[in-house]
Each structure stands twice: as structure tokens, then as C-alpha cells.
């Protein structure tokens, strides 16, 4: 049975992990006959967004690991404890948390900074030539990790794609129900909610990504 490390970035599309993408990822992993362990950085979120109003909640702080534990039903570890040798595959669902808490791409674009613990784990999978998959806006991290003109997708927004290219990747436009595969890097990316207009479209995107990355040797 393949073992998958899943890195989450909080809980909620606007300031954490996209909940639909995260849950669909975990479901798809099980449906493909694999198992997973969730991880998240033990740091405070960039900010907290009221998901009812879409406004930033002034003066409120939340921890990325604590919030991610909501999705993982408490079964989660700090990303600093992720032993790459214990896993076959790495998967990062999207949501603004991937671009606010795992890195600052949402705020700083190509000039963004990266959480060192997350970057260390992602780079370790890449250096070990183990397959990895990044959904939605999470390929901003993949661009930093792989560089070298590695092919990946982040939807169809021109400015966002430009930021990916500036980080050293090669952006490829991709329909919501398809994936972009870079076989040399063993990397799979999919647009998910960068393009999805419904949970069923997100499901098509995520399930194709998980199926594809788990089929890689």
C-alpha cells in the first residue's frame, strides 16, 4: 500500500486549505487503495478571514496546524516531523492558505517567501525523485521547489501564471478536469478551484490528479 504525505495549510478557502479540495484529496487517496498522513506547519496564519463576509477579522489569530487538525480529525503532525523516507508520494491541496501560510505568493507574487519546514519537505521529495502533486494555487510552491522550467498549471489567470514562470517554472494552461504532468520531475498539477465552478468539477480535477500521481513509479 502506498503511503502519502498530505500537507495542509489551515481550514477554509480564503485563509487556509480549501476544504473541498482537502477532503476530496483524502477520499481519492483511499479510493485508490493508498493511505495518508496529514501534516501542517506549526505557525500562525497570515490572517483570519470571516468566511461569511469575506473580510479580515482584525485582532484574531489562528494556528495553521490547529486549524488543519479540523480537516484531519485530529490525526495530524507538524510538517517538521515528516520523514520523507516513510512515504511514497506527496500531495498538497490548494486554498489561499497554500499561498498565504505555506508561502506568501498570494501577497508578494514572484517575490514571495516560503515556510522553511514546508520547503524542506517538498524539496526532499523532489530530490528523492518521489512523485508529488500540487492542486489549485499550491503549484506556486512547486515552482520554487522544482524550477528548471518544470511544466505545471495554476489555472488560466495571466498574472498568476506569470508569477509561476518568474519563479522558474513553465506554466501550461489546463482544463479543470485534466492534469499537467512533468515526467522528468515526477510532478502532477491540476487547476481545481482555480477554474472549478462546482464541487463536482473540483472532484474531477482532484481525483484525476490523485489517480495520476499514485500511478507513477
Name the residue among 130, 124, 93 with its Cα closest to residue 17: 93
Q: Are 145 and 104 in contact (CB under 8 A)?
A: no
Phi/psi-derived region of residue 2, left when phi > 0, alpha when psi is between -120 and 50, beta in every other case: beta
Q: Give backbone dihedrals phi and psi of 76, rounded to 5 degrees, phi first.
A: -150, 155
CA distance linking residue 69 with residue 185, whole number of Å = 30
- CA angle 51/57/62 to nearest 5° reads 85
Return the active site residues. 136
C-alpha cell at 97: 492558505
Amino acid at each position: 500500500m502506498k503511503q502519502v504525505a498530505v500537507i495542509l495549510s489551515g481550514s477554509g478557502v480564503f485563509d487556509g486549505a480549501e476544504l473541498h479540495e482537502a477532503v476530496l484529496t483524502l477520499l481519492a487517496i483511499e479510493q485508490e487503495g493508498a493511505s495518508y498522513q496529514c501534516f501542517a506547519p506549526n505557525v500562525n496564519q497570515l490572517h483570519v478571514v470571516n468566511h461569511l463576509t469575506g473580510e479580515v477579522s482584525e485582532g484574531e489569530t489562528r494556528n495553521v496546524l490547529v486549524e488543519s487538525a479540523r480537516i484531519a480529525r485530529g490525526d495530524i503532525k507538524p510538517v517538521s516531523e515528516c520523514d520523507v523516507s516513510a512515504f511514497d508520494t506527496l500531495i498538497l491541496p490548494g486554498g489561499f492558505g497554500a499561498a498565504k501560510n505555506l508561502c506568501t505568493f498570494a501577497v508578494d507574487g514572484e517575490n514571495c517567501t516560503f515556510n522553511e519546514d514546508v520547503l524542506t519537505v517538498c524539496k526532499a521529495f523532489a530530490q528523492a525523485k518521489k512523485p508529488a502533486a500540487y492542486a489549485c494555487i499550491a503549484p506556486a510552491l512547486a515552482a520554487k521547489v522544482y524550477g528548471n522550467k518544470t511544466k505545471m498549471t495554476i489555472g488560466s489567470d495571466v498574472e498568476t501564471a506569470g508569477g509561476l514562470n518568474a519563479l522558474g517554472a513553465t506554466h501550461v494552461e489546463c482544463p479543470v478536469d485534466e492534469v499537467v504532468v512533468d515526467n522528468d520531475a515526477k510532478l502532477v498539477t491540476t487547476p481545481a478551484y482555480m477554474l472549478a465552478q462546482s464541487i463536482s468539477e473540483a472532484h474531477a480535477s482532484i481525483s484525476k490528479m490523485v489517480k495520476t500521481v499514485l500511478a507513477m513509479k
